[in-house]
Structure 1
Amino acid sequence: MTANQVTVSATILSAAAGSLVWLSAGARWTLAVVPCALFVRMALNALDGMLAREHGMGSDVGAMLNELGDVVSDVALYLPLAVVPGCSAPLVVMAVVLAALSEMVGILGVQFGGGRRYDGPMGKSDRAAAFGLLSLAFASGAPREAWPHAVMIGIVMLLVVTIFRRAGKALQGGVA
């Protein structure tokens, strides 16, 4: 299996898990699938990088697939939470858009003479942890009063900080 096949597999897994949540209108059992899919996705992301480096499979196509796959996977896994009762659809959409922007700004570091920016506080792994825990809480039947809104507002705020931090470091041409 090639690194690119692993990358595509992670994206397909994310799309399948997100579709399950979306089509079930956020049924509790489908929300339990999200943390599992996130765990496997993160493992596959690590594996594709190791394959590319250690077996000489790195390529421009692979780099593009990796970056696009991350954004598509985020959208596929996180956007369906907008249909979950008790979760604010506008805040979910805002978080998904900001997550994509944070990845775009991270890539721009290369354009300005530095490396790919991975600065936080709400990078890919942090988002996976936050959305995974949120999904797990929903799946476990936790009451859905105000706390999901507070969590989503926190994610949105941390994404804004991440975007500004990455942009600042990218413009300085700093190394990741």
Structure 2
Amino acid sequence: MPDNRPNRRPLASRDTGWARRLSSRLAATSVTPNQISIAGMVAALGSGLCFWAVGNADGLGRALLLILAAGMCQIRLLCNLLDGMVAIEAGRGSPDGGFWNEFPDRVSDALILAGVGLGLGAAALGWAAVSFAFLTAYVRELGSNLGQPADFSGPMAKPHRMALITGAALLAILEPLWGGDGGVLYIALWSVAVGAGLTALRRGYRLVAALHA
């Protein structure tokens, strides 16, 4: 049965057969939702390190690093999906589940986006993207604390950020064909920073409007 709680991110993948089968198998083991959340942070760390290393790599090594970085971005999202499913659908939640639902996401955003910035030699841009990503989450949580449903709107919510960075990493593999040198990831990181800033403003506007209503 779909979960329609207002403070849970709506994800179509949560209702797919493969996700339910995988979460059921995990629920039958001793693996806890919090451990899945930690695994997501580890994947994000690996992704960030690969993005950082891309800056000093070329040829086949660069392509492999980009593939690994993209893959671990998606593993991070998979862990984000499964920790909630094991906790809620399988009834394996814990008193500190709220912490492990949010804290790893912030750490993972920082590791991946800062890693992209460091790999490009644009650390300031990377940290700007991290800051605006954090701001989107802050406005969402602020709304929840003020009694409003959590606002997961975009244009650059977490799934959008990770989809963009993943796609950019894979596209960047082809950059040598047109003589590019990091431009794809640079544009993607700028898009995350600007898009996350606009997302925070949009959520803030919607929150103030809802409070007045």
TM-score band, normalised by shorter chain:
0.7 to 0.9
Q: Provide closer, same or farther for how the CA distance between residues 125 and 144 of structure 1 changes in structure 2, counting only shifts above 3 A.
A: same
- Name structure 2 gaps, 5 residues minimum: 1-30
1:77/1:168 Cα in 2 relative to 1: closer, same or farther (>3 Å)?
A: same
C-alpha contact 1:117 1:166 (8 A) present in aligned 2: yes
Distance 2:167 2:51 in 1: 15
Q: Secondary structure of the residue that 1:56 maps to in structure 2? A: coil
Which one of 115, 118, 132 corresponds to residue 83 of structure 1? 118
CA 127–139 in structure 1, closer or farther in 2 if over 3 Å, else same:
same
% identical aligned pairs: 27
Match of 1:2 in 2: 32
From 67, 74, 86, the equivalent of 1:39 is 74
What amino acid does structure 2 have at the position aligned with 1:8?
Answer: I
Q: 1:153 is matched with which residue? A: 190
Secondary structure at the counterpart of residue 32 of structure 1: helix
CA–CA separation in structure 2 for the residues paired with 1:26 and 1:145: 11
Determine the C-alpha separation between the residues in 1 that align with 2:187 and 2:49.
Answer: 25
Gaps of 5+ in 1: none
SS of alignment partner, residue 96 of structure 2: helix
Aligned: 1:134 with 2:168:
yes
CA distance in 2, matches of 1:61, 1:131: 30
Q: In 2 relative to 1, CA 116–33 (structure 1 residues): closer, same or farther, beyond 3 Å?
A: same
CA distance 1:173–1:33, change in 2 (3 Å): farther
CA 1:26–1:112: 2 relative to 1, 3 Å = farther
SS in 2 for 1:84: helix
Count of aligned positions: 173
Pick the structure with greater CA Rg. 2
Q: Is the 8 A contact 1:109 1:169 kept in 2?
A: no
1:22 paired residue among 35, 40, 52: 52
The alpha carbon displacement at 1:154 in A equals 2.8
Contact 1:105 1:167 (C-alpha < 8 Å) held by counterparts = yes
User: How far has the Cα of 1:25 moved from its partner?
Assistant: 4.2
Report if aligned partners of 2:129, 2:193 keep a CA contact under 8 Å in 1. yes
Q: What TM-score comes out, normalization by structure 1 length?
A: 0.85
> Shift of residue 11 of structure 1?
0.9
Quote the residue 1:164 is aligned against.
Answer: 201
> What is the DSSP-based 3-state SS (H/G/I as helix, E as strand, rest coil) of the residue aligned with 1:119?
coil
Deviations 1:28-69 (A, max 9, x none): 232221210111111111111111111222344111111111
The structure, 1 or 2, with the larger RCO (C-alpha pairs under 8 Å, 6+ apart) is: 1
TM-score of the two chains, using structure 2 as the length reference: 0.71
* 2:153 matches 1:107: no
